[in-house]
A and B are shown apart, each in its own frame.
Chain A
Amino acid sequence: NAGVMQNPRHLVRRRGQEARLRCSPMKGHSHVYWYRQLPEEGLKFMVYLQKENIIDESGMPKERFSAEFPKEGPSILRIQQVVRGDSAAYFCASSPELKEPQHFGDGTRLSIL
């Protein structure tokens, strides 16, 4: 059973470009969470989605960031007009049911030039 798959593993963008991060949850998992990790810091919650629905986006910046989890295909975290401060590791986690443990992917390292 494949784990949570995130791609790309590394992404380099110039300021002002768009970044699209993909997350394929484990098979049978319908709950997806996105977290951001800055260097030498813990993870910060961004958004929680369940198939086609955003359940909690309280950790998402109000502008430039959006997330989706369509009925078919991976979850996408989209960052428009990236700035240097967006440089971080972005992790996706999934779980089969609400109260089951979250399993993490190996993240996407986003670097902004």
Chain B
Amino acid sequence: QQQVKQSPQSLIVQKGGISIINCAYENTAFDYFPWYQQFPGKGPALLIAIRPDVSEKKEGRFTISFNKSAKQFSLHIMDSQPGDSATYFCAASRGNNRKLIWGLGTSLAVNP
């Protein structure tokens, strides 16, 4: 049972375009939702994270939109660049444990 469902599995975007990746979760007890970026051969690096008390958070070209009632959250990458080409993971955790439950990842390719 996949507690965090991520889509699409892969995404191709032109340089300067907007990349949108979506995640849906089941457990309403989740209270922390980070997005990680991973390059081949490297560990995941935290991009941006949100808690359910806000509906949107923006950091530079990266924005998380959060819809608590729909149990969905998404990552928007504005003005996508070839250097953004990587695998992106959404995750969720809850309470005092903080173990991250991960989506299966989205492979993003930004064409020059």
Contact = CB atoms under 8 A, between A and B. Distances in A.
Interface residues of B, number: 23
A98 B42 contact: no
Contacts of A107: 42-43
B65 to A, nearest CB: 20
B61 interface: no
B59 to A, nearest CB: 13
B98 interface: yes
Interface in A27-51: 31, 33, 35, 41-45, 48
A98 B98 CA distance: 7
B102 A43 contact: yes
B18 interface: no
B51 to A, nearest CB: 10
Contacts of A45: 99-101
Interface string B33-70: 01010000111111001000000000000000000000
Listed residue (A45, A91, A95, A107) with the most chain B CB atoms within 10 angstroms of its CB: A45
Given A42-B89, A101-B49, A91 B44 contact: yes
B11 to A, nearest CB: 15
Interface of A: 4, 6, 31, 33, 35, 41-45, 48, 55-56, 58-59, 91, 93, 95, 98-99, 101-107
